[in-house]
Amino acid sequence: MPESSIAVLQNLATQLRIDSVRSTTAAGSGHPTTCLSAAEIMAAVFFAEMRFDPRDPQHPEADRFVLSKGHAAPILYAAWAAAGAFPREDVMQLRELSSDLEGHPTPRLSFVDVATGSLGQGLAAGVGIALNARRIESDYRTYVLMGDGESAEGSVWEAAQVAAFHKLDNLCAITDVNGFGQSRATQFAHDADAFMSRWKAFGWHVIGINGHDMAQVLAAFKEARQTTGRPTMIVASTLKGKGVKLFEDKDNWHGKALKKGAEADAAIAELEAQYIKTNDPAPVIPKPAQRRSEGALPNFSKALPTPAYKLGDVVATREAYGTALAALGAIDRRVVALDSDVKNSTFSERFEKVYPDRFYQMFIAEQVMVGAAMGLAARGAIAFPSSFACFLERAGDFVRMAGISNLNIKLAGSHAGVSIGEDGPSQMALEDLAMFRGVPNCTVFYPSDAMSAERLMALAADTHGPVYIRTTRPKTPVIYEASESFVAGGSKTIRQSDRDAVTVVAAGVTLFEALKAHDVLAAEGTAIRVIDLYSVQPVDRAGLIAAGRATNGRIITVEDHYAHGGIGDAVSEAVWDQGFKVQRLAVREIPRSGPPDVLIDKYGISGRAIVEAVRALVTT
C-alpha cells in the first residue's frame, strides 16, 4: 500500500468525521463522539479492504460489514455516501421520519443486513454471515465493528466461542477501544491488553493497534486476511471524539450532538484543518466476484413429501418437527438448522444426520444461536434455530431485533407448558407465545398433531419473515388426514353441531383436553364446538367470530401457557367488537414438578376444567 494512499484514506476519515458531526448537529441528537473514534477504521475497511459494489450492496459475493456499535450509525451512513451509495448531502436527513437513515441502522437500508442498536448483537450476526459464506462456497469476508462497552454483553462471548469452534477465518472483528461507555469509563478504560488477553483465550487471532494510525489499521486488516483456521480480532486503541478537542477523550459526551452555530462550526473547522494536501488518486473499491444465484425459492408446501402418518398414530409434534426439517432440507439447500445442544430433545438431530454441513452446533448459547440464524437469513438462508421454548427467551432481545430486521428465521420451541411434567417450572415455556406474538411481523404456529406440524413447517419455510413454531413434549394422536391443508390465519373446526352452546378454542395438548370435554358434555346433552387454533398469529378473526355467533357469544380458550399474551388474548382481540364473552383457561401460577396429566388438571387446563367452565358459562 503506497504512502500516498494513506493520505487519501486519512482524508476520507476526516470527511467521515465531518459528516458525522454535521448530520448529528442537523438532527439535534445522535452520537458523534463514538463515530469519531472509529473514523480511520471505517475509512480503511470501506476504501482499502472490502470488495463491494456501492450501487448493489446486496450482491451475494460482496464482503459484508456489520456495525455492531449501532449508535455510530452516522459514520456508517457517511461511509456509504462516500462510497457512492447515495448523495453525500443526504446524510443531513439523519433521524428524520421521511428518511431511512434512522437513529440506529435497520435493513430498511439496502446496505444493512441486520438491525443493530441493541448492543452486543453484531458479532453473533457476523458469525451467521460468515457461516453463510461457507454454505454458498463464497470467499466473501465479514467485518464487524464493535464497541468496547458492548463487549460486556455475554452474547459477544457466545459469538466469540462459536466463531473459534467453527474456525471462521473469514470473519474479522474490530473492537474500538475508546474507553468510554454511556455514563462513565468502561470497566477497562484504555487497557487494550484486557481485551487482547480475553480474545486470545477464546481462541482468536488477536492484533493490537493504534486505531488512529492508518498504516497500522491497514496492516492489521492484511494480517487478518492472511490468518487461517481462526477468526481475527483487531483491538484498536482510540479516543472517543477524536479530532475535536471540545470532547476528545472526555466523559459526559456520549450521545450528545454539538449545538448548531458556533459550537458545531468550530468543530467542523477544526476537522477541516486536518485534511492533508495530496494529489493521490481517489481509491477504487474492488468489485465482488461474479454473481451466482441460488435461484428462485421452491414452493416448500408443494414439495414436501406427504407425511406418512395415519389417523390415530401417536407422535409428538417435536418429532414431526425433526422429520419435516430434514425433508425441507432435501428440498432446498438454503434450509439450515441451528442447535444449542438439545438436538435429541427437539429432534433437529434428524436434520443433522442428513445435512451435517448445514447444521450448526452453537452449544448452550441461545443468543448466538438466534443471532447466527439472523446472519444466515440475512444472506439468503432459511434458518431454523430450535431449543426448548423456555430457553428461547434467553434470546428474547435477539428475537426483537430479528423482528425489526424482518429476517427470514423460523424459530422452534419444544417442551411447551406444564405438559413436560417432572422436570419442573424452569424447563416449562409458559410465556413463549406472548414473546413471539409481541413481534408484530412474526407468524406463530402451534400444531396439535404430527400431520399439521409437518404441514406448518413447510408453510413456515414458504412464509417470508420471522415464524415461530411451538411444539410439545408428549406424544399426541394424529387427527388430520394428509389431504388437509393449513394456512397462516386459519383454524380447524374439529367438532361442531347446529346446537353448540359454547366454542372451545385450543391448540397443542389442550386440543385433546377439549375433545375429552366434548365427549363428557355430549353425554350429558351439551354440545360444544371445538376449534384447533393452529395459527395463533395471524389469527382467524372471521372463523372465530362465526363460531362465537353460532354459540351464543360464548368462547372458552384453553392453553398450556400463562393467561397473558397467548391464545386467550389473541382470540379476545380478534372478536373485540362482537361483545362476546371470552373466558381464558390457562396456567395462572408458578407450576411445579409432577406427572403431565396431573399438572394439566391441577393448573386448570384439563378436560375436567373445560367441562366445569362450560357448565358454568351456559348457566349465565
Catalytic residue IDs: 366
- Report CA-CA distances (Å) from 565 to 66, 375, 439, 463: 33, 28, 12, 23
385 contact partners, CB below 8 Å, separation of at least 6: 337, 338, 339, 340, 362, 369, 370, 372, 373, 409, 410, 411, 412
Work out how close the CB of 595 gets to a copy of itself at its nearest, in angstroms, rounded to a whole number. Answer: 7
In angstroms, rounded to a whole number, what is the distance separating the alpha carbons of residues 329 and 327?
5
Measured from the CB atom, the residue of 29 and 306 that comes closer to a copy of itself is: 29
Between 60 and 74, whose beta carbon lies closer to a copy of itself? 74
Q: Find all residues with CB under 8 Å of 498, minimum gap 6, and list them.
A: none
In terms of CB distance, is 371 or 543 closer to a copy of itself? 371
Nearer to a copy of itself by Cβ, of 162 and 515: the residue is 162
Q: Is 548 exposed, middle or buried (0-12, 13-18, 19+ CB in 10 A)?
A: buried
- Pick the closer one to a copy of itself by CB: 147 or 211: 147
**201 or 314: CB nearest a copy of itself:** 201
Q: Which is nearer to a copy of itself, 427 or 496 (CB)?
A: 427
Nearest distance from C-beta of residue 14 to a copy of itself, angstroms: 26
Nearest C-alpha neighbor of 129 from the set 373, 368, 363: 373
Nearest approach in angstroms of CB 254 to a copy of itself is 8
Q: Closest approach of Cβ 67 to a copy of itself, in Å?
A: 12
Query: Could you tell me the smallest distance in angstroms from the CB atom of residue 515 to a copy of itself?
Result: 24
- φ/ψ of 330, rounded to 5, equals -75, -25
Q: 61 and 69 in contact (C-beta within 8 Å)? A: no
Cβ at position 39, least distance to a copy of itself in Å: 22
**Which residues have a Cβ under 8 Å from the Cβ of 64 and sit 6 or more positions away?**
113, 126, 129, 140, 141, 142, 143, 379
Give Rg (Cα) of the chain: 27
State which H helix or E strand residue 583 sits in.
Answer: strand 581-587
Three-state DSSP at 149 gives helix
Minimum Å gap between C-beta 5 and a copy of itself is 35
Q: What is the DSSP letter of 587?
A: E
527 by Cβ neighbours in 10 Å (0-12 / 13-18 / 19+) ranks as middle
Cα gap 21→31, rounded to integer Å: 9
β-bridge mates for residue 383, sequence order: 336, 409
- Cell 426439517: give the residue: 325
Tell me how far, at minimum, the Cβ of 156 lies from a copy of itself, in Å.
7
Return the SS3 of 505. strand
Q: Which is nearer to a copy of itself, 246 or 616 (CB)?
A: 616
Burial class (CB in 10 A: 0-12, 13-18, 19+), 490: middle
Location of C-alpha cell 363460531: 547
Provide the grid cell at 572: 379476545
